[in-house]
Copies of this chain bind each other. A is one copy, B any other.
Amino acid sequence: MSEVLLKGQKAKNASLSLVGVTTEEKNQALLKIADGLLMAKSVIIEENEKDLQAGRDRGLSESILDRIMLNEKRIEDMASAIQLLVELRDPIGDNLETIKKENGLHIKKNRVPIGVVGMIYEARPNVTVDAATLSLKTGNAVILRGSSSAYYSNKALVQTIHGALSETNLPVDSVQLIEDTSRETAKELFTLNDYLDVLIPRGGKNLIDTVVRESTVPVLETGAGNCHVFIDETAEYKMAERIVVNGKTQRPSVCNAIETVLIHEKWFHQYGIELLQVLNSRGVEIYGDELVVQVFREAKRATEEDWATEYLALKVSVRIVSDVQEAIKHINTYGTNHSEAIVTEKVENANLFMMKVDAAAVYHNASTRFTDGFEFGYGAEIGISTQKLHARGPMGLEALTSSKYFVYGKGQVRE
């Protein structure tokens, strides 16, 4: 039997045992994991060093090596995040609906775990701990399929988690790592419908697209963010500048950073050069439409491809539009339904924009960088969903739950 199939079966069994485990039991297990990570710090760092060495040998970029790297501080941060997770309210068991029928039937719709969560992700070993602990908090078993570039780190982390779980009532198989990181094991997970209830990809666009395309297991699509700010005719200059600079430069590599600025032509005539100069002075490369390159010589000409590109870098495309309708149309054509902002003093335009733009989160006079489970106050984040089913936008613990109808009768049958 293949590793994936075997671990799938074990996960399914573990998930059935996890049903009915109490919040206290889950929290105690989480605290044991936090303690275990702190105690195993040096071993984890040693194993992580093997990944870093292998990465350097393969010539991985500094930014990817940084994503793989674990040090004392980062392991301590993992432990602290788990302690915060323990404090969060357990959504399992919540009553979502109660129906009393005339025939005496009593129906309760309650929140239950999803079952088995599959996680496919790239470099970052912190996702290993995140996914494992968020799944446990919600009573799910999890199968982790990390990247070869974090092989030793992931193994050390999961061994630590297993050590901790073995001292609790929770099955050790609740958390399992697929150690074979070949393409084949990913493919096997895509069609493991008998054992997996959901598959969550975390990583770049290629990974996500592949999972969406090839998986027959239901997918929670996260991530890709080609986000826009539209600066309307009446936007206050300083506010617009602040929101654009924040969206573009505060952390360009993340999905809620902005990639295109759409500017009302009248505003552009008055303030455009100033804004472009500010961006330029902060090291942002500008790809503009015809009007932009005419008036701002440092700008390069944007191609059709630029409008659809998530740069994830200090680059921005800029297009001049004649009104809010044109901005909405541009966003609904090129956007990825993530986070979209309008800066305007005209409330009607803000309302129209927010209603008509098709995105998980729409902003009036605020930075798109706020689309985040922690910023929204959920205390945890599985990812940011850009699909419309099950969960949309930042996903907290509830995104890892399902529901179940409990029907209580006295012998009722249907007429």
- Inter-subunit contact B403/A107 (CB<8 Å): no
Q: When each residue 358-392 of chain A gets 1 if its CB lies under 8 Å from chain B and 0 otherwise, what string results? A: 11111111110111000111000000000111101
- Inter-subunit contact B115/A404 (CB<8 Å): no
- Inter-subunit contact A389/B412 (CB<8 Å): no
* Selected contact of A197 from candidates B332, B371, B388, CB within 8 Å: B388
Q: Is A355 in contact with chain B by the CB < 8 A criterion? A: yes
- Inter-subunit contact A20/B355 (CB<8 Å): yes
Interface size on A, residues (CB 8 A): 67
* Selected contact of A404 from candidates B193, B243, B367, B392, CB within 8 Å: B392
- Inter-subunit contact B414/A370 (CB<8 Å): yes
**Closest B residue by C-beta to A100:** B377
- With contacts A370-B105, A408-B365 taken as known, whether A388 is within 8 angstroms of B402 at the C-beta atoms is yes
Q: Is A201 in contact with chain B by the CB < 8 A criterion? A: no
- Inter-subunit contact B105/A389 (CB<8 Å): no
Q: For the complex, give the distance between the alpha carbons of A216 and B369 in Å.
A: 29
Instruction: Give min CB distance, A221 to chain B, whole Å.
Output: 8
* Selected contact of A115 from candidates B356, B388, B407, CB within 8 Å: B388
Chain A residues touching B, majority SS: mixed
Q: For the complex, give the distance between the alpha carbons of A115 and B407 in Å.
A: 33
* Selected contact of A99 from candidates B107, B377, B406, CB within 8 Å: B377
- With contacts A365-B411, A366-B407, A414-B370 taken as known, whether A218 is within 8 angstroms of B389 at the C-beta atoms is yes
Q: List the number of copies, as a whole number.
A: 2
Q: Is A31 in contact with chain B by the CB < 8 A criterion? A: no
Q: For the complex, give the distance between the alpha carbons of A364 and B106 in Å.
A: 10
Instruction: Give min CB distance, A126 to chain B, whole Å.
Output: 20
Q: For the complex, give the distance between the alpha carbons of A406 and B236 in Å.
A: 21
Q: Is A320 in contact with chain B by the CB < 8 A criterion? A: no
Q: Is A239 in contact with chain B by the CB < 8 A criterion? A: yes
Q: For the complex, give the distance between the alpha carbons of A387 and B196 in Å.
A: 11
- Inter-subunit contact B366/A411 (CB<8 Å): yes
* Selected contact of A358 from candidates B115, B219, B236, CB within 8 Å: B115
**Closest B residue by C-beta to A389:** B390
Most buried by B among A219, A247, A392: A392
- Inter-subunit contact B412/A358 (CB<8 Å): no
* Chain B contacts for A369, CB-based, 8 A: 413-414
- Inter-subunit contact B414/A375 (CB<8 Å): yes
**Closest B residue by C-beta to A401:** B388
In residues 301-346 of chain A, which contact B (Cβ within 8 Å)?
Answer: 332
- Inter-subunit contact B243/A364 (CB<8 Å): no
Q: Is A142 in contact with chain B by the CB < 8 A criterion? A: no
Q: For the complex, give the distance between the alpha carbons of A369 and B392 in Å.
A: 33
Instruction: Give min CB distance, A40 to chain B, whole Å.
Output: 33
- Inter-subunit contact A360/B404 (CB<8 Å): yes
**Closest B residue by C-beta to A235:** B411
- Inter-subunit contact B404/A362 (CB<8 Å): yes
In residues 250-298 of chain A, which contact B (Cβ within 8 Å)?
Answer: 250
Task: Please list the 9 inter-chain residue pairs (A to B) with the smallest Cβ-Cβ separation, ordered nearest first.
Answer: A366-B409, A246-B413, A388-B402, A369-B414, A239-B411, A361-B405, A390-B390, A389-B390, A367-B413
Other A-B pairs, 19, CB within 8 Å; known A218-B387, A366-B412, A369-B414:
A16-B358, A20-B355, A101-B375, A114-B388, A115-B358, A197-B387, A220-B389, A243-B413, A245-B413, A359-B404, A360-B404, A360-B405, A365-B409, A365-B412, A367-B413, A367-B414, A370-B414, A390-B390, A393-B405
